[in-house]
Amino acid sequence: MSKRVLVVDDSPLVRNLVKKALNGNSEFCVVGEAANGKEAVDLAQKLEPDIITLDVTMPVMDGLDAAREILKQNSKIKILLLSAMGDDALLSQAQSLGIKHSLQKPFRAEQLLEALRKLLEV
């Protein structure tokens, strides 16, 4: 069965890139998308995805605060952080939350799929 993915990024462009990479791939299916951390927390609760691709820098609530909340509610959800240049401080904070997987933007579709497969191996 394909893994259910929630796509979170404040950039519609990045969300579309992720969706495009995952659509047409039987391993994954996109079940929802969110443009900030608050929406991500709400949708994670509602949709119970297997995986969240989570942007770090977002308005309203950043990826780190969202991850903390999401993992508190459901520690089984696997999170892939999508970071940009300069997000390093946030990334090391993420590691202290137990989030070990990240992918730096910009990425190619194949790199995203590879990172998601690695995320599932753990």
Binding site for Mg ion (CB under 5 A): 10, 55, 57-58
What six digits make up the tokens of 49?
Answer: 């995805």
Least distance (Å) between residue 76 CB and Mg ion: 25
Nearer to Mg ion, 10 or 33 (CB): 10
Q: Rounded CA gap, 40 and 5, in Å?
A: 12
Distance CA 80, CA 50 (A): 11
State in angstroms the smallest separation of the CB of 84 from Mg ion.
Answer: 7
At how many degrees (to 10) do helices 109-121 and 12-22 cross?
70
CB of 14 to Mg ion, least distance (A): 7
Residue 33 or 55: the one with the smaller Cβ distance to Mg ion is 55
CB of 1 to Mg ion, least distance (A): 30
- How many other CB atoms are there within 10 angstroms of residue 24's CB atom? 7
Strand, coil or helix: what is 25? coil
Select 15 or 116, whichever has its Cβ closest to Mg ion.
15
Smaller CB distance to Mg ion: residue 10 or 50? 10
